[in-house]
Amino acid sequence: MRNSPSHTMELPRLIVVGEKNIGGFGKFLQNLGPTKKVSIIAGNHVQKIIRVKISKSLSDSKIKAVWHSPKTNDEKSIGMVESQVRKDRSDLIVGIGGGRSVDVAKMISYNLDKPFVSVPTAASHDGIASPFVSVKGEKPHSLVATAPLGVFVDIDVIKRAPKKLLASGCGDLVAKITAVKDWQLGRDNTGEYYGRYSSNLASMSAKILLEATEKKKRPDIREIVEALISAGVASCIAGSSRPCSGSEHLFSHALDKLAPGIGLHGEKCGIGAILMAKLQGQDWKKIANTLKNAGAPTTAKQIGLKKQVVVEALVIAQSLRPERYTILKQIKMTHKKALELAKSTNVI
Ligand SMILES: NC(=O)C1=CN([C@@H]2O[C@H](COP(=O)(O)OP(=O)(O)OC[C@H]3O[C@@H](n4cnc5c(N)ncnc54)[C@H](OP(=O)(O)O)[C@@H]3O)[C@@H](O)[C@H]2O)C=CC1
Ligand SMILES: O=C(CO)COP(=O)(O)O
Ligand SMILES: [Zn+2]
């Protein structure tokens, strides 16, 4: 009998989701372990909203804080912040913000071998509770770092974030429909490891959104946050981003490369899910309707992408991660096929 290869499941230890609970952040850190000093990574917009309240909560718990603001999440920028954080000699590193700041903090804590705490201020992506980190560098996709020791969410902060960030999170959630299907294709065609538990968990995150938009049109923020955390946990259990990222993410990574800075991560993954669902023979119209009801974009034009870029992204997507089997391995995408696909799904 063939031994199956082992993989590591690393999970967060403490996750708190509350409302108007930001004042309890210092106590939350002390519950994780004795904490005297923290390094905080947060962007300028987020600092304006949250810095005063976080600073008060930390000083109430006798925790010193040093704030850092990364310019972006490329390797150079992370390296610069990392050398400052190293000098802080803090007990742990906190990432506060959207995916960029959380990822920068996650990467630095991994490099410096310090515990990491994630404080998402927007429900825009599923990296909130996962060990995966996206940095702009050699690889267009995520790398494995360390799972957060703790995740602290104040729904009231997330409610006040720009609406398009929540819509983007909904895009990252519908992406699980096509990602899980691609994983099944990988299992059937290459015999790769497939985790039924983690794939069901990721599928459930998308299902929650599908059901919510069917009934109430607009999804509940707390449900979306929990679904994003749960999708991240699905990746923790799978030991890779496989249940959460398939061909639709490859399409988004290709757009990052061809048109950097245009559209949010989840917006691009949502549009990718419409396209890939059609290729996979899944109900792509249902995905498009779910996105529309969630206020997320379903066309390239809505996020400022040119038609040729969409076509080119479809053609190069699979080459960005050749080892990950997806529907694009079976289709052998050409410019002609890509154009037809994007037109037939109303993406362009
Ligand atoms: N690790 C993983 O598995 C994953 C990582 N990612 C990565 O995450 C990044 C995308 O994250 P995303 O959140 O979409 O984008 P950003 O982190 O770039 O956030 C977008 C903007 O929203 C602002 N913002 C965040 N929260 C609030 C708030 N409450 N109020 C007002 N403004 C707010 C940010 O401000 P500020 O400038 O202050 O930060 C920023 O200007 C990408 O780099 C992507 O690769 C995405 C998915 C999964
Ligand atoms: O965004 C992610 C999951 O939602 C991470 O996926 P990648 O591993 O493709 O970067
Ligand atoms: Zn994603």
pLDDT tens-digit readout, 113-125:
999 999 999 999 9
Which of 125, 136, 320 to mutate to test ligand 1, by most ligand atoms within 8 A of the CB atom? 125
Q: How far is CA 67 from the centre of its chain?
A: 23
Measured CA angle at 271 (ends 224, 326), to 5 deg:
100
Q: What is the DSSP letter of 261?
A: T
Render pLDDT for 321-342 as a digit per residue (tens, 0 to 9).
999 999 999 998 999 999 999 9
100 labelled ligand-binding? yes
Q: How many Cα atoms occupy the beta-carbon half-sphere of 282 within 13 Å?
A: 20
Q: Which atom of ligand 2 is nearest to the CA of 265?
A: 1
CATH classification code of 163-344: 1.20.1090.10
Ligand 2, CB cutoff 6 Å, lining residues: 126, 132, 134, 141-142, 172, 241, 244-245, 249
Distance of alpha carbon 17 from alpha carbon 108, whole angstroms: 24
121 is in an annotated binding site: yes
Handedness of CA 62, 64, 67, 68 (dihedral sign): negative
Q: Does domain 14-159 have CATH number 3.40.50.1970?
A: yes
Residue 130 assigned ligand-binding role? yes
Q: What's the ipTM?
A: 0.97
The per-residue pLDDT for 332 is 87
| Domain spans, the chain | 14-159, 163-344
* Residue 256 CA, closest ligand 1 atom number: 45
102 annotated ligand binder: yes
* Cα 230 from chain centre: 12
Whole-number Å distance, alpha carbon 41 to ligand 2 midpoint, is 21
Residue 172 assigned to a binding site: yes
Asked if residue 64 lies in contact with residue 26, where contact means CB atoms within 8 angstroms, the answer is no
Residues near 95 by beta carbon (within 8 Å), at least 6 away in sequence? 41, 42, 101, 102, 103, 104, 105, 106, 116, 117, 118, 119
Candidates 311, 313, 52; CA nearest to 157 is 52
Give pLDDT, residue 1: 45
Kindly write down the DSSP assignment for every residue of 195-218, as one continuous string. Answer: -HHHHHHHHHHHHHHHHHHHHHSS
27 Cα: distance to centroid of ligand 3 (angstroms): 31
Residues near ion ligand 3 (Cβ under 5 Å): 172
Mutate which of 106, 165, 257 for ligand 1 pocket (most atoms within 8 A of beta carbon): 165
How many angstroms is it from 245 CA to the middle of ligand 3? 6
Cα–Cα distance for residue pair 344/348, rounded to 1 Å: 8
185 DSSP 8-state letter: H
The predicted pLDDT at position 328 comes to 98
Closest residue by Cα to residue 101 from 76, 79, 130, 71: 71
Which residues, given as ranges, of the chain have pLDDT below 70?
1-4, 216-217
Which pLDDT value is given to residue 3?
64
**Angle between helix 307-316 and 247-258 (nearest 10):** 120
What is the C-alpha to C-alpha distance for residues 289 and 211, in angstroms, rounded to an integer? 12
What mean pLDDT, rounded, does the chain reach?
A: 95
pLDDT digit string (tens) for 43-91? 999 999 999 999 999 999 999 999 999 989 899 999 999 999 999 999 9
